[in-house]
């Protein structure tokens, strides 16, 4: 330590040492400032600034060294070799440039200190090369320990300087780094000089032709000042350039920031493209593509195009192209693109503006879908269906194939709506649509035309049977029991089939034919499929005429009633009559009730007709003996309509008939449709005092549980059981079981449709049964009733005897 101190204070000219120190500080500042620029500037200018930093640092430390050497007052005359001296400058510039490059460009934590250490090594190399280029006329002896210490310290300080410079861009960081670098240079110089001992030697005193300086003290000082000024000039230029560049860079950055903020404020994605490669873009563009700016810069723009083209070069601003961009997640983004040429930086470029039109497109697609589809079931609507039908027919023309057209309609859908509400109706329609689709082949096009009306096009159907089979499959599928919410519904559908070109070639005509076939399926009892028959057209016309005539007949009260007697088997007494409606049309003659009652039900005329029947029957029955009741048929439509109770009440009031003399006949269908509602209406009727009979028992679901659940007074076993009863053992068993059960429950039994004594006899001895059938009497007109009332009628005697005979016959058996 003393050696170093002695060297500094005694062996150096302290004024020149001060100049060297100043030079060192200025150089260190210049070095750090220029190296910092290399970090702050864009990549393209980085190498240039690294070279400037290497040069400024190299020249600075070389100048410091040179002036310090001149400050060294060697005891012998000193001479400097030009090549070695200049060479040491070259080596310093080169190694230090490498050091800065490593410190600035390196990417891990070690590269900054490593680069700094390299700079320290460069400074040391320069120092010892410089000394080697000196001729002091004496032999140089080095203290190896101090030399190593000098080098290590220089490397450490320089490493610290590089770390601080790279990590702390602030002014304080800059000064801190410069201080560390200064310490590195100073410590190297003085410790290394302290390590040097000059030993006089005569051989070393020879003057060399290549010397730049002689030992003259005056000229040495002049040289020191000159070198110092030159170094200050070089370093000063470097420093000035760094400060100016930093200032300009800051302004440029502010300007860029302003531009970017402006670009980011737009709703459009903007990308600047040069030679097909993206140079820059706003954040909206990145957002649209779900990518970072770093991912997009330098990417060819065509890589983003999934479908469509960008507008061609030179296209006008107003012309927008449509294309699809690929987003990060692989999805396509629909955009509208405009293009404009401009100069970006200094180069001619293209600016593309992308507008996201996916929302508009989605809305448009949705509107188109809505215009063509039914919102409830999602099936095509009538409009779309007609288009599909036309297209299928067109195709079939060309390929010479057949097309099936089916119209479907739910049976009694209106009732579901009326009874359970529209929400249930809607759910039912959805379920039916699903079932329909499941039952159809993949090529079929199903549509909902309106309410409960569906239609299906079957392109390329093999033949008529094929189409009918498919329609039947749909009807079967729709007809199987269905649960909507907590409701168990039993719906059915009917279908009408027509075939192109067998039945017709025009779409309107085919639609009409499928409708007619459907109508026929309904007329035949629903829940079935009919195909088109040319006779159907005429039948339909007739049916429409029948509807009009029936409406008029009801309106003008041209209907009439017949009454079919009912007699007790035990004593043959007439207990009542069933009122049966009759229509004797002027043109058609008598129309069977099976025909016109159904038409009345389908058209809703039944309500008016039903209340007329009720009034007329009650009016008539008032005139009969008090023991005779009148039975009136009530159709399910009347039952469901809600004012049946009122209508019964008003018929009783108007006629003055005692309620217990009126009996309402309903069929099982009424009960199945909606048990709860049926029960309420039956109870209300019951509370009026009228009797309740279940008609046609055994033809429907024949649920014996109805007998217990509903307040019936009477069951009427259907005439289908009576026909040939004596020949049908099974029918006998069923009839007997039903009679026994009813008897147990206290319900009276009417056997309908007994036509001869054999059938009667087959019933056995059952005096409490009531008989209604042609054997007893056909339905009578009002005028005929009075004569029939005679209890001593021989036929009735015969019936009574027959029952007793049956009993005898059974006893014998």
Choice between 19 and 747, CB closer to ligand C2E: 747
Of ligand C2E, Mg ion, none, which one sits near residue 594, judging by CB under 5 to 8 A according to partner kind?
ligand C2E
Of Mg ion, ligand C2E, none, which one sits near residue 323, judging by CB under 5 to 8 A according to partner kind?
none
CB 121 within 8 A of CB 155: yes
Choice between 198 and 551, CB closer to ligand C2E: 551
CB 333 within 8 A of CB 356: yes
**Can you spell out the DSSP letters for 208-227?**
PTTEEE-S-HHHHHHHHHHH
Of Mg ion, ligand C2E, none, which one sits near residue 374, judging by CB under 5 to 8 A according to partner kind?
none
Residue of 620, 665, 674, 761 interacting with Mg ion (CB under 5 A): 665
Smallest distance from the beta carbon of 612 to Mg ion, in angstroms?
A: 17
How far is 404 from 11, CA to CA, in rounded Å? Answer: 119
Contacts of 548 (CB under 8 A, 6+ apart): none
How far is 785 from 579, CA to CA, in rounded Å? Answer: 12
Choice between 73 and 713, CB closer to Mg ion: 713
Is 11 a residue of the active site?
Answer: no
Token pair listed for 693: 């009979």
Choice between 271 and 693, CB closer to ligand C2E: 693
Of Mg ion, ligand C2E, none, which one sits near residue 779, judging by CB under 5 to 8 A according to partner kind?
ligand C2E
Query: Per CB under 5 A, which of residues 692..711 are in contact with Mg ion?
Result: 695-696
SS (H, E, C) 542-579: HHHHHHHHHHHHHHCCCCEEEEEEEEECCCCCEEEEEE
Q: Is the preceding peptide bond at 501 cis, omega within 30 degrees of 0?
A: yes
CB 529 within 8 A of CB 495: yes
Choice between 158 and 769, CB closer to Mg ion: 769
How far is 11 from 30, CA to CA, in rounded Å? Answer: 29
Of ligand C2E, Mg ion, none, which one sits near residue 129, judging by CB under 5 to 8 A according to partner kind?
none
Closest of 14, 200, 209, 32 to residue 119, by C-alpha: 32
Annotate each residue in 114-143 with x if it binds Mg ion (CB under 5 A) or - if it does not, as one string. ------------------------------
Q: Which helix (H) or strand (E) holds 672?
A: helix 668-673
Distances (CA, A) of 491 to 426, 452, 603: 13, 12, 20
Choice between 121 and 751, CB closer to ligand C2E: 751
How far is 223 from 781, CA to CA, in rounded Å? Answer: 154
Smallest distance from the beta carbon of 719 to Mg ion, in angstroms?
A: 7
Angle, CA of 262, 264 and 267, to the nearest 5°: 105
> Which residue shows structure tokens 């029918």?
731
Smallest distance from the beta carbon of 399 to Mg ion, in angstroms?
A: 54
Choice between 381 and 633, CB closer to Mg ion: 633
Q: Which long-range contacts (CB under 8 A, 24 or more apart) does 249-256 make?
A: 249/37, 249/40, 249/41
Of Mg ion, ligand C2E, none, which one sits near residue 6, judging by CB under 5 to 8 A according to partner kind?
none
Smallest distance from the beta carbon of 665 to ligand C2E, in angstroms?
A: 6
Closest of 126, 141, 137, 1 to residue 65, by C-alpha: 126
Span near Mg ion by CB under 5 A; candidates 187-195, 274-282, 512-520, 633-641: 633-641
Closest of 651, 614, 652, 615 to residue 634, by C-alpha: 614
Smallest distance from the beta carbon of 632 to ligand C2E, in angstroms?
A: 7
Smallest distance from the beta carbon of 752 to ligand C2E, in angstroms?
A: 6
Of Mg ion, ligand C2E, none, which one sits near residue 597, judging by CB under 5 to 8 A according to partner kind?
ligand C2E
Smallest distance from the beta carbon of 796 to ligand C2E, in angstroms?
A: 15
Of 752, 758, 759, 801, the catalytic one is: 752
Choice between 388 and 633, CB closer to ligand C2E: 633
Contacts of 322 (CB under 8 A, 6+ apart): 308, 334, 335, 336, 337, 357
Q: At what angle do helices 382-399 and 358-372 cross, to 10 degrees?
A: 80
How far is 71 from 242, CA to CA, in rounded Å? Answer: 30
Token pair listed for 181: 């670098």
CB 288 within 8 A of CB 333: yes
Smallest distance from the beta carbon of 606 to ligand C2E, in angstroms?
A: 6
Of Mg ion, ligand C2E, none, which one sits near residue 593, judging by CB under 5 to 8 A according to partner kind?
ligand C2E
Closest of 99, 96, 118, 19 to residue 64, by C-alpha: 19
Choice between 61 and 597, CB closer to ligand C2E: 597
State the number of CA atoms in the 13 A half-sphere of 291 facing the CB: 21
Bridge-partner residues for 716, per DSSP?
Answer: 750
How far is 490 from 669, CA to CA, in rounded Å? Answer: 11
Residues at the site binding ligand C2E, with contacts judged by CB under 6 A? 564, 579-581, 592-594, 597, 610, 613, 633-635, 665, 695-696, 719, 752-755, 772-774, 779
Smallest distance from the beta carbon of 557 to ligand C2E, in angstroms?
A: 14
Choice between 549 and 695, CB closer to Mg ion: 695
Smallest distance from the beta carbon of 731 to ligand C2E, in angstroms?
A: 15
Annotate each residue in 740-779 with x if it binds Mg ion (CB under 5 A) or - if it does not, as one string. ------------x---------------------------
Of Mg ion, ligand C2E, none, which one sits near residue 564, judging by CB under 5 to 8 A according to partner kind?
ligand C2E
DSSP 205: G
Span near Mg ion by CB under 5 A; candidates 57-65, 199-207, 283-291, 661-669: 661-669
Span near Mg ion by CB under 5 A; candidates 154-162, 297-305, 544-552, 628-636: 628-636
Contacts of 485 (CB under 8 A, 6+ apart): 424, 427
Smallest distance from the beta carbon of 411 to ligand C2E, in angstroms?
A: 18
Token pair listed for 808: 């005898």
Token pair listed for 483: 């649960």
Strands (E) in 68-193, as ranges, are 79-81, 134-135, 138-142
Q: Is 668 near Mg ion (CB under 5 A)? A: no
Q: Is 633 near Mg ion (CB under 5 A)? A: yes
Smallest distance from the beta carbon of 686 to Mg ion, in angstroms?
A: 19
Closest of 436, 410, 435, 437 to residue 425, by C-alpha: 410
Choice between 402 and 618, CB closer to Mg ion: 618
Q: Report the phi/psi class of residue 421: left, alpha or beta, with left for phi > 0 and alpha for psi in -120 to 50.
A: left
Closest of 88, 89, 190 to residue 147, by C-alpha: 190
Choice between 408 and 639, CB closer to ligand C2E: 639
Binding site for Mg ion (CB under 5 A): 633, 665, 695-696, 752
What amino acid positions are annotated as catalytic residues? 752
């Amino acid at each position: 330590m003393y050696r170093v101190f002695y060297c500094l204070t005694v062996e150096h000219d302290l004024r020149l040492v001060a100049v060297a120190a100043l030079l060192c500080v200025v150089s260190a500042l210049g070095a750090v400032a220029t190296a910092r620029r290399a970090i702050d500037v864009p990549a393209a200018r980085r190498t240039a600034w690294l070279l400037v930093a290497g040069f400024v640092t190299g020249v600075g430390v070389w100048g410091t060294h040179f002036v310090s050497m001149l400050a060294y007052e060697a005891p012998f005359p000193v001479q400097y070799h030009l090549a070695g001296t200049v060479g040491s400058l070259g080596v310093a510039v080169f190694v230090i440039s490498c050091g800065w490059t490593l410190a600035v460009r390196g990417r891990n934590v070690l590269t900054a200190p490593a680069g700094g250490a390299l700079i320290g090594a460069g400074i040391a190399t320069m120092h010892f090369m410089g000394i080697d280029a000196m001729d002091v006329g004496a032999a140089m002896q080095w203290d190896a320990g101090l030399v190593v210490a000098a080098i290590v310290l220089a490397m450490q300080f320089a490493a610290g300087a590089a770390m601080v410079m790279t990590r702390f861009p602030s002014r304080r960081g800059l000064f801190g780094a410069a201080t560390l670098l200064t310490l590195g240079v100073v410590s190297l110089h003085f410790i290394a000089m302290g390590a040097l001992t000059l030993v006089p030697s005569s051989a070393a005193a020879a003057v060399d032709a290549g010397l730049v300086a002689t030992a003259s003290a005056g000229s040495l000082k002049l040289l020191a000042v000159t070198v110092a000024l030159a170094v200050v000039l070089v370093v000063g230029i470097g420093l000035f350039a760094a400060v100016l560049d930093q200032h300009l860079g800051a302004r440029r950055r502010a300007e860029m920031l302003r531009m970017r903020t402006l670009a980011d404020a737009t709703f459009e994605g903007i990308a600047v493209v040069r030679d097909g490669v993206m140079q820059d873009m706003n954040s909206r563009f990145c957002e649209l593509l779900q990518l970072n700016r770093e991912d997009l810069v330098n990417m060819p723009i065509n890589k983003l195009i999934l479908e469509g083209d960008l507008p061609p070069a030179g296209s006008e601003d107003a012309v927008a192209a449509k294309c699809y961009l690929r987003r990060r997640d692989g999805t396509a983004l629909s955009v509208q693109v405009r293009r404009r040429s401009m100069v970006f930086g200094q180069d001619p470029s293209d600016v593309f503006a992308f507008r996201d039109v996916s929302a508009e497109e989605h809305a448009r697609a949705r509107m188109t879908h809505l215009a063509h589809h039914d919102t409830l079931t999602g099936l095509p609507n009538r409009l779309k269906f007609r288009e599909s039908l036309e297209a299928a027919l067109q195709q079939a023309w060309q390929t010479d194939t057949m097309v099936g057209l089916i119209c479907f309609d739910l049976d009694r859908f209106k009732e579901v709506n009326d009874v359970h509400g529209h929400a249930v109706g809607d759910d039912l329609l959805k379920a039916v649509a699903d079932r329909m689709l499941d039952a159809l082949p993949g090529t079929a096009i199903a549509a909902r035309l309106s309410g409960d009306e569906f239609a299906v096009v079957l392109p390329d159907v093999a033949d008529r049977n094929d189409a009918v089979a498919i329609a039947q499959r749909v009807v079967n599928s729709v007809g199987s029991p269905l649960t909507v919410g907590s409701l168990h519904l039993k719906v059915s559908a009917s279908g009408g089939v027509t075939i192109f070109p067998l039945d017709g070639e025009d779409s309107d005509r085919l639609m009409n034919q499928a409708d007619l076939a459907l109508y026929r399926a309904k007329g035949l009892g629903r829940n079935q499929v009919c195909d088109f028959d040319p006779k159907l057209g005429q039948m339909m016309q007739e049916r429409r005429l029948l509807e009009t005539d029936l409406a008029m007949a009801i309106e003008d009260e041209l209907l009439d009633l017949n009454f079919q007697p009912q007699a007790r088997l035990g004593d043959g007494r007439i207990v009542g009559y069933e009122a049966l409606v009759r229509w004797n049309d002027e043109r058609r003659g008598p129309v069977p009730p099976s025909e016109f009652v159904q038409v009345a039900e389908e058209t809703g005329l039944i309500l008016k007709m039903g209340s007329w029947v009720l009034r007329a029957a009650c009016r008539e029955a008032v005139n009969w003996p008090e023991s005779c009741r009148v039975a009136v048929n009530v159709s399910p439509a009347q039952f469901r309509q809600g004012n049946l109770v009122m209508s019964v009440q008003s018929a009783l009031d108007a006629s003055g008939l005692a309620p217990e003399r009126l009996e309402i006949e309903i069929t099982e269908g009424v009960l199945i449709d909606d048990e709860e509602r049926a029960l309420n209406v039956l109870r209300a009727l019951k509370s009026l005092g009228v009797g309740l009979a279940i008609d046609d028992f055994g033809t429907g679901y024949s649920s014996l549980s109805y007998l217990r659940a509903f307040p019936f007074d009477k069951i009427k076993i259907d005439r289908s059981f009576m026909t040939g009863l004596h020949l049908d053992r099974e029918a006998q068993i069923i009839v007997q079981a039903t009679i026994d059960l009813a008897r147990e429950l206290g319900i009276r039994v009417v056997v309908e449709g007994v036509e001869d004594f054999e059938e009667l006899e087959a019933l056995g001895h059952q005096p409490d049964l009531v008989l209604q059938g042609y054997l007893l009497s056909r339905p009578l007109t009002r005028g005929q009733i009075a004569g029939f009332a005679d209890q001593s009628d021989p036929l009735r005697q015969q019936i009574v005897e027959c029952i007793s005979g049956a009993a005898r016959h059974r006893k014998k058996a």
